[in-house]
Structure 1
């Protein structure tokens, strides 16, 4: 049996989100056949099969995050004992089951100890405390369905089966909805393997206070498996341990944290049973935001009315959201706005565009802007930096690697043009056009979106003049370009129409002062108004 673990998908990639499965349990696959599409940050990657065989189990659902090195899919290779036994199990077992008056569905679904069920069904079984191997599958080929698991759970409940015995919802007086949900688990002697525990109080530390959630945590696959079984958010577990400068959590910390959560749940259950609705008010007065649904509580669900629709918040959209939230949370933004007359830029492009077409290059304004930005960064290096908060150092980049923010059908991505100084205008234009086209077709490599030192975003291509762009951390600045068009400008005491370009420079105020931003923009304006100045560099 071959356990295919999520491979290393690129430098620095720690995990990926399953976007699509292209196979199902029971499917025959060949080497190099695409098994799934996995998203890492902003790049979607096809994951091919390394072997020939038959799919036995998918270990992750669509939308689930899988760490590098965790088992993604199990494949039975040709010659595996389980594969050969499975091929004749149903025929050999059916007569015996008929003679014994048993069900062939059970044999089909659990032959050789294997159960045919999707990851979501397996998760439901774990959450409800149902032994999925003992469930009769009613689906095709004896596959266990969610209805089968729910029926088994109901039957176990009616028979007094051990497991969850109550679920209590505590509702606040203002009608905002449930503020706590408590699952009470039987206190029998059986060892708790975490499958019957479904925690609804998240991010609570040992002292009952709300824990700050990290963006990334290092842990072994085995530890992450335990966290999933105990329904613990591994990024919220307090830890003083580090590995390679990153927070590290071990299995003991996970179990200790889970016990703290369960204790908090027990306290909530007692408050509900003894204090009723007053518990919410008491918690609010005491500043307990976890119980009272305050600032640290779990997000409330949004109701959907008729005519509205929902779509999953995942993939590129979630990656963008997390990056933007991190930037706004960590970085004190300040934005400097200005406008520049770009008659010289317009004339330069008009002169060079026919020559570029002869060489098969579509010459837009973007390579001009990128080239001018690099020249300005050379004179104002503080804007070509990154803040290393761990070592408390400002990193000055020597290379000018400019990110070009690109709007696509699947979200905003930022291809990076390396070493702008060392490339001519036509080479730069061709490279930008290629990167943007492949970004929009999702054919871009993750490495081509890394290593940026400064970002340019052209929102004016869609419309608008000024904005407050969000910095692409760990960079310390981003330049927003508004719509290039004729606007009234005072020249020699007269108002005339001139092509102008609005500029919006957002800076990390921890590193860059407002005066630095203004000086950079003044230098950039000089290059944009007359690009021939670049010949002097």
Structure 2
């Protein structure tokens, strides 16, 4: 019997190297033709690498988190009779994990008691939140029986497995004095790299403004009381999106991309709002496309759909790219002020802090008002401070006099 080396395939799009995110086999495992061997990540998506042959794994070419060049040795397999017949065929072709957003899975530790690997082992189906919880608990999902559609492992499945396994195989205490080391790989590494690139490249400056949203909140409550059952519930976000859309008519230079290599500014007529969303695998920015075309309820429904897709890993690649300005909010944790990092190549990001009731002076009288800060950052290379301030003041005027949001 001979051996067959599977090399890192050319994934296309001019990509010269990829990051190895997770192995689904180990040395000594028997693999079948077309079995998924590993996940690798480009700067745009996670891709599955299948085996072109059948045989036994002899060696692995890299550890999770390592960056591999296209053409580098990924895995070496000792062929069996079935594998030798297939070895002369074309090398393995990469497959996108789905039409979904990049889903990052961390390598997990072996449980104390593990069944022998099966030749038919396939990558388990599970949402990113389930994968992260399994990673944190040191559980391999292939040992958890999935009861969801097509055998998908659900949170309930994992919970039952944890309850059964905890006495024998899980160390759930915190009595160890040893520090925990967590590798920065996959999506977390990409987030770190993008934040680093943005802060290193962009000339950030921030502008914080206080806004009285008492009337806006009254309008939102009125609309929800009247239309929730038939149109859905409104949060603050679709109203903020509407304010951005209207204000950008006067300040198109903020709805733009800056290509620092070509020294070119591209102003966009369509408003595609990135909605910064925290998922279990990290920060993602799904895109509310053509926000200028949707009404409050259409945009509200789309924001909810996109956020859910980002959190469960079903967002399509095109739903995570192409924003022209970004809106970020920490909700109730929004604090008093923040300094958001620009989502390159955009030139502006609008940060929303929490709403608080506090006394303010209005017409010489102390009254209780609902107040909120907008903490926004701009690329000072292409956005002047005066323009940024005037833009935020325009947004403030729209939010404090919400009837103006609907005047064309």
Asked whether the two chains share a fold, i.e. TM above 0.5, the reply is yes
Q: Which stretches in structure 2 are left out of the alignment for 5+ residues?
A: 88-115, 117-175
Residue matched to 1:3: 6
Q: Residues 40 and 49 of structure 2 are in contact (CA less than 8 Å); yes or no, is this contact kept in structure 1?
A: no
Query: Which of residues 210, 220, 223 is equivalent to 1:349?
Result: 220
Kindly state the Cα deviation for residue 15 of structure 1 after the two structures are TM-superposed.
Answer: 4.3
Deviation of 1:46 after TM superposition, in Å, equals 5.3
Higher helix share: 1
Query: What residue number does 1:226 align with?
Result: none
Q: CA deviation at 1:360?
A: 7.0
Quickly say closer, same or farther: Cα 1:3–1:354, change in 2 above 3 A: farther
Q: Distance in 1 between matches of 2:32 and 2:231?
A: 41
Taking the TM superposition and a 5 Å limit, the aligned residue runs for 1:225-264 are none
Does 1:49 find its partner at 2:59?
A: no
Q: 1:78 to 1:519 in 2, by over 3 A?
A: farther
Rounded Cα–Cα distance in structure 2 between residues aligned with 1:51 and 1:355: 59
CA distance in 2, matches of 1:313, 1:356: 45
User: Which residue does the alignment assign to 2:272?
Assistant: 401
State the partner residue of 2:61. Answer: 59
Q: CA separation in 1, counterparts of 2:80 and 2:401?
A: 66
CA distance in 1, matches of 2:73, 2:245: 44
* Cα offsets for 1:286-309 (capped at 9, x unmatched): xxxxxxxxxxxxxxxxxxx95432
Correspondence 1:470 to 2:341: yes
Check 1:463–1:69 CA distance in 2 against 1; reply closer, same or farther (3 A cut).
same
CA distance in 2, matches of 1:358, 1:331: 45
Cα distance in 1, alignment partners of residues 15 and 402 from structure 2: 39
1:480 is the counterpart of 2:351:
yes
Q: How many angstroms does 1:459 deviate by?
A: 2.7
**Counterpart contact for 1:19–1:39, Cα < 8 Å:** yes
**Paired residue secondary structure (2:397):** helix
Superposition pairs for residues 284-303 of structure 1, below 5 Å?
none
Count, aligned residues: 316
- Residue 362 and residue 14 in structure 1: after superposition, are their counterparts in 2 closer, same or farther (change >3 A)? farther
Shift of 1:398: 2.0
Q: SS in structure 2 opposite 1:368?
A: helix
- For structure 1, the residue ranges without an aligned partner over 5 or more in a row are 85-139, 141-304
Give the Cα–Cα distance (whole angstroms) in 2 for the partners of residues 74 and 360 of structure 1.
57
> In the alignment, is residue 500 of structure 1 matched against residue 379 of structure 2?
no
Question: 1:479, 1:424 → 2: CA distance?
Answer: 20
Q: Which residue of 2 aligns with 1:322?
A: 193
One of 29, 37, 44 as aligned partner of 1:35: 37
The 5 A counterparts of 1:80-99 are 80-81=83-84
Q: 1:336 to 1:306 in 2, by over 3 A?
A: same
1:312 CA displacement: 1.0
* 8 Å Cα contact 1:383-1:512 kept in structure 2: yes
Q: Distance in 2 between matches of 1:353 and 1:35?
A: 50
In structure 1, the residue matched to 2:150 is none
Which residue is 2:317 aligned to?
446
Aligned-residue offset at 1:510? 0.9
- SS of 1:386's partner is strand
Q: Counterparts of 2:190 and 2:211 in 1: how far apart (Å)?
A: 34
SS, match of residue 422 in structure 1: coil
- The answer to whether the Cα contact below 8 Å between 1:35 and 1:49 also exists between their aligned partners in 2 is yes
Cα gap change, 1:306 to 1:8, in 2 (>3 Å)? same
* 1:421 partner SS: coil
Partner of 1:384: 255
> What residue number does 2:238 align with?
367
Once the two structures are superposed, what CA deviation does each residue of 1:122-158 show, in whole Å capped at 9, x if it has no partner?
xxxxxxxxxxxxxxxxxx9xxxxxxxxxxxxxxxxxx
1:293 match = none
Please tell me whether the aligned partners of residues 6 and 71 of structure 1 are also in contact (alpha carbons under 8 angstroms): no
User: What secondary structure does 1:470 align onto?
Assistant: coil
Question: Partners of 1:506 and 1:407 in 2: how far apart?
Answer: 19
The TM-score with structure 1 as length reference comes to 0.53
Q: In structure 2, the residue corresponding to 1:420 is in which secondary structure? A: coil
Partner SS, residue 350 of structure 1: helix
- Give the secondary-structure state (helix, strand or coil) at the position aligned to 2:292: helix
Shift of 1:521: 0.6
1:528 to 385, 395, 399: 399
Deviation at 1:393, TM superposition (A): 1.9
Trace 1:157-236 onto structure 2 (pairs within 5 A): none
Maintained 8 Å contact 1:16/1:40: yes
- Provide closer, same or farther for how the CA distance between residues 415 and 486 of structure 1 changes in structure 2, counting only shifts above 3 A: same
